[in-house]
Amino acid sequence: MGFKKLLQRVRRKKKYPNRFLKFYHQNKKQLNQERRSSYLEKKKEGLCTRCKRKAVSGIVFCEYHQQKQQQYNKNAREK
Ligand SMILES: [Zn+2]
């Protein structure tokens, strides 16, 4: 196979159905890293990982999100 044809094949592989998916695939490594680092950053600073309010000490949620999480767990158990 010629080099040109190989190149064409590689190019075709990189086509995405839409530009959002393309953006996601090209940046997912970085996106995941950013998401993770902001989670750790908030945890370290004692802030809720879901909003930016102060977290209850010992957990990663503020009072509001702690209650939401407890409600969610309760619902999950009752099913
Ligand atoms: Zn919160």
pLDDT tens digits for range 35-68: 888 888 888 889 999 998 999 988 899 999 999 9
pTM over the 0.95 mark: no
> How much distance in Å is there from the Cα of 39 to the middle of ligand 1?
12
Distance of CA 53 to the CA centre of its chain: 20
The set of residues, in sequence order, having a beta carbon less than 8 Å from that of 46 and lying 6+ positions away, is 54, 55, 57
**What protein residues have CB closer than 5 angstroms to ion ligand 1?**
48, 50-51, 53, 62, 65
- Residue 22's alpha-carbon distances to 10, 19, 63, 69, in angstroms, are 15, 5, 38, 33
**Domain ranges (residues) in the chain:** 20-78
- Backbone torsions φ then ψ of 47, nearest 5 degrees: -105, 150
